[in-house]
Chains A and B, each alone.
Chain A
Amino acid sequence: MKCENLEKIDLYFEKKLNDQERAFIAEHLETCDACHGYLNDLKHTDRVIGQLKSFNPELANPLAFRNEVLAKINPIQESVFQSTLDRIVEAIISILVKPATKYAFVAFAAIFFGLFVYQQSMIFQKMDDLEKRMESKAENVPTSRELSLETFFKRKEAKMIEEKHTDNLLNEHRYLQLKYTILLKVLKDRHPDTYREFIQKIEKETQLPTDKSNDYEDL
């Protein structure tokens, strides 16, 4: 049968009991074989551990040991670049392997991917808008022919003005004639319907009475 004081033997052995308890256990040990045997086991264990502790193992040949280690680290030192790379990779892996950083990395990657997709969609949106704007603008943009006529007109006008100043009134008539010719040409190109109406109206208004000679003849 297990003695109820057996648990106190550890404390007795470790000298953790007060004087009264200690005196009680000391007296108890004289009569209890189980506790006495247990105390002997504790002493024996402590003695063996003490002997293990006092033993200091030594290498047979420390110098050879040192040289062997140094010989093994030499090739490592030669590939410093490789070992540095390994260390970087190792550090990254060790960070990623930790649960907290792993989840943080996944969250960061998800946010980054989301932003990337959003940015791409915005670019496509902008490109669409630009295309639409260009299409709508193209309707009001002058054609290349119109542009060339305008340029032609401006150049001619500038030349005419210059000529007008030099030849003064002598050329005024020629200038006006040419200016109106160009204006008509521009009108014809840009607004053909208006041009046609305009020409018809002018022709109608400036038309001379027909068969006037006959009238005379009638006279």
Chain B
Amino acid sequence: MPIEIPYDLIQLVKAGDQQSFGKLIDKCSNYVYGIALKMLGDADDAHDAAQESFIKIWQKIHTYKSHFKFTTWLYKIVINTCLDRLRDRNRDNTIFQKVDDHTDLTTTTEPKMEFEEQEFIAYIRMISERLSPRQHSVFVLHDLEELGQEEIAKILNMSKGSVKSNLYHARKAIRKILISLDKAKTNAL
């Protein structure tokens, strides 16, 4: 869901106006939290990553060039913050332990028209576990955030070809996840 940030507001934040930064947080907090949750699949982790992203925005706003789309710059900060957390998480190897705390997807029937947050988190968590951080980022940005391949290439510092290839492998992996999930459901019944 794209958001529009007024140019004047960005300039005021750039000038160090804390009140304007507060307004910027109000405008983008749900948006940033949403991206973080889609990347991390953990509400607390996403909350912390969103806060960390805003602190980085405040510290690095002077590096933002006005001729770039602000949201592209914003995505870059949030995605990089989440990728750092995913790497730390993989390093700590606590991921499998945490997944058990979430909703068991094998007990649910066909997905409902609208996801509950827990179900959403469980799916994202499962996908993020199976995909490489790059594939997961491309999947989130392309299929969930509906960004164009060119913008994704800019955000992730990769070529358009690499975006396409990562997207293909991501979808293939997700398909496999869903098939294995269906099989698990059938066996559970």
Interfacial residues, chain A to chain B (CB-CB below 8 A): 41-42, 44-45, 47-49, 51-59, 62, 65-66, 68-70, 72-73, 76-77, 83, 87
A40 to B123, CA, bound (A): 19
Within 8 A of A (CB), among B27-85: 29-30, 33-34, 37-38, 46-47, 50-51, 54-55, 58-59, 62
Q: Does B22 have its Cβ within 8 Å of any Cβ on chain A?
A: yes
7 A-B pairs besides A52-B38, A57-B37 with CB distance below 8 A are A44-B182, A62-B30, A66-B26, A69-B51, A70-B25, A76-B58, A77-B18
B112 CB contacts on chain A under 8 angstroms: 51
A97 to B135, CA, bound (A): 27
Q: Closest approach, in angstroms, between the C-beta of A183 and any C-beta of chain B?
A: 86
B179 CB contacts on chain A under 8 angstroms: 41
Chain A binder among B88-96, B114-122, B155-163 = B114-122
Interfacial residues, chain B to chain A (CB-CB below 8 A): 1, 16, 18, 21-22, 25-26, 29-30, 33-34, 37-38, 46-47, 50-51, 54-55, 58-59, 62, 111-115, 117, 120, 123-124, 143-144, 146, 171, 174-175, 178-179, 182
A83 to B18, CA, bound (A): 16
A70 to B55, CA, bound (A): 8
Is the beta-carbon distance between B21 and A73 smaller than 8 angstroms? yes
* Residue among A53, A55, A76 with most chain B CB within 10 A: A55
Is the beta-carbon distance between A48 and B26 smaller than 8 angstroms? no
A68 to B47, CA, bound (A): 11
Is the beta-carbon distance between B47 and A65 smaller than 8 angstroms? yes
Query: In the complex, which of the residues A48, A59, A83 contacts B123, with contact meaning CB atoms closer than 8 Å?
Result: A48
A68 closest partner in B (C-beta): B51
Is the beta-carbon distance between A41 and B47 smaller than 8 angstroms? no
A74 closest partner in B (C-beta): B18
